[in-house]
Chain A
Amino acid sequence: MSTDHRVHDIGGTEGWGEVPYDPNEPVFHDDWERRVLGLLFQVLPHTAKRPGEFRHALERLASEDYFCADGYYGRWRAGMEVLLHEYGHVDKAELDNRLGVPHGTSAGYRSANVAAVNPKSLPPDRNTPLPERRTVRRELDEPPQFQIGDRVVAAGNDESGHTRLPEYVRGVAGTVVKIHPAEVLPDSTAHNLGDRPQHVLCVAYQAKDLWGEDAEEDVVVNVDLYESYVELKEGVS
């Protein structure tokens, strides 16, 4: 499995230990975690406003920042540092200056740039009525291309743009079990290439198809996939 280029795409990867489970965990462990949450909601309107854009900022972090010792809120702070630098609000050197440390500590020194996505690799845009409120939902005139029960496969790609197709389902056949409301395509919106709304399919995968004969018995993994990700599996009705 190629995980080098997508630090966040870890579903099914091996070598991880026990889940750090605490049933009585508090909402925040430290006050700085509260501040990061509160700050993020005011930083995003100045930076990542499009669907998928903030997620992609996190995905572009260096592995040491994505899996940083400060946990999830540390990752959010690193994502903010990257976006604030890229949008020209807080240069990556500025935070170091403020902290009185040599330049280079900010996540912006290590993060990958936004990849150039070729619009031709995306499905065509469609005209849909713009909703009255901010939402990822769109009303599509076209019916879904797939039906419940169809066997489908997602090929995926090896580009480094944003996508919501997990690596672990690539090339594996699954069955459409439900069709969710249509949404804008994050692979496009994260890169400022338009809404390109898609029907969203819930696709059920048998664990044995994903993981082989060693898979646990009686396990089904359901994954939501934008319609443009998949094709009908040939040779199966």
Chain B
Amino acid sequence: MSQEVGHHHGSDPNSPEIRTEALEDLLAEKGLIDRARVDALIERFEHDLGPMIGARLVAKSWLEPEFRKKLLDNADQVLQDEQIQGAEIEHVEIKANEPGIHNVVVCTLCSCYPWALLGLPPSWYKSPEYRSRVVREPRKVLAEMGLSLDSDTEIRVWDSSSETRFLVLPERPSGTEELDLEALAQLVTRDSMIGVAEVKAQ
């Protein structure tokens, strides 16, 4: 249980801690929420969900050309076959990076994101800076974030304005020929599947 939030000694009623705690208390008193279920949900989001689910798909597609083709053609079927379920992946499309083509995902209107493949989105993905700028000047934004693309690489931005969710399939780095599925999946970062980073061999 998380009753310790009830013993906060902060006194600023406008602090997020105090305000959230007051709201939770009101909801619990009115019977609108069950604190144990709140705890269980947090536990699931924090520990069971995360980019490792997407990373496995990426690593497997690097190793198995047939799997890669299926993933790019019909990701929904692959997710069903792999028994991957959960929030925000009712329809998924995978966009493959290749030499000369780089994909990057955003949601300019809110913060849509494939939760069941990547976990909860990071703050920067939800920031107005990213949401506003990556559709107008993606090359500059990516460079600022540490990803400098060749000037002749085409950038394809995917704005998640419907219920379709996008995942980037990054390129496999050289020097990873000996690695197996698990080792490859360890290399695949969340940010590479959003499209703001490349996968590095080490």
Contacts and interface: CB of A to CB of B under 8 A. Distances in A.
B162 A180 contact: yes
A39 B162 contact: no
Interface stretch (A112-120, A139-147, A222-230): A222-230
Contact of A22 (B39, B122, B140): B122
A34 to B, nearest CB: 5
Contact of A38 (B38, B152, B189): B38
Contact of B128 (A10, A180, A216): A10
Contact of B109 (A13, A36, A164, A202): A164
B25 interface: yes
Nearest to A42: B33
B13 interface: yes
Given A39-B24, A136-B90, A222 B159 contact: yes
Nearest to A55: B110
Main secondary structure of the interface of A (DSSP, over half): mixed
A155 interface: no
B157 A220 contact: yes
Given A16-B129, A31-B5, A101-B13, A95 B162 contact: no
B20 interface: yes
A20 B124 contact: yes
Interface residues of A, number: 81
A223 B156 CA distance: 11
Interface in B175-201: 189, 191, 196-197
A223 B135 CA distance: 10
A137 B22 CA distance: 37
B32 A46 contact: yes
B20 A36 contact: yes
Given A105-B13, A216-B138, 5 more contacts: A10-B108, A32-B20, A135-B90, A168-B135, A202-B164
Nearest to B37: A42
B17 A31 contact: yes
B27 to A, nearest CB: 7
Interface string B116-131: 0001101110111111
Interface residues of B, number: 78
A165 B16 CA distance: 32
Contacts of A34: 2, 42, 46
Contacts of A222: 156-159
B98 interface: no
B19 A77 contact: yes
A55 B163 CA distance: 12
Which of B22, B46, B197 neighbours the largest number of chain A CB atoms within 10 Å of its CB? B22
A168 B108 contact: yes
10 contacts: A22-B123, A39-B33, A77-B23, A95-B22, A164-B162, A211-B136, A218-B151, A218-B153, A219-B155, A225-B162
Contacts of A16: 128-129, 132-133
A148 interface: no
B161 interface: yes
B78 interface: no
A152 interface: no
B23 A200 contact: no
Contacts of B161: 164-166, 223-225
B53 interface: no
B109 A166 contact: yes
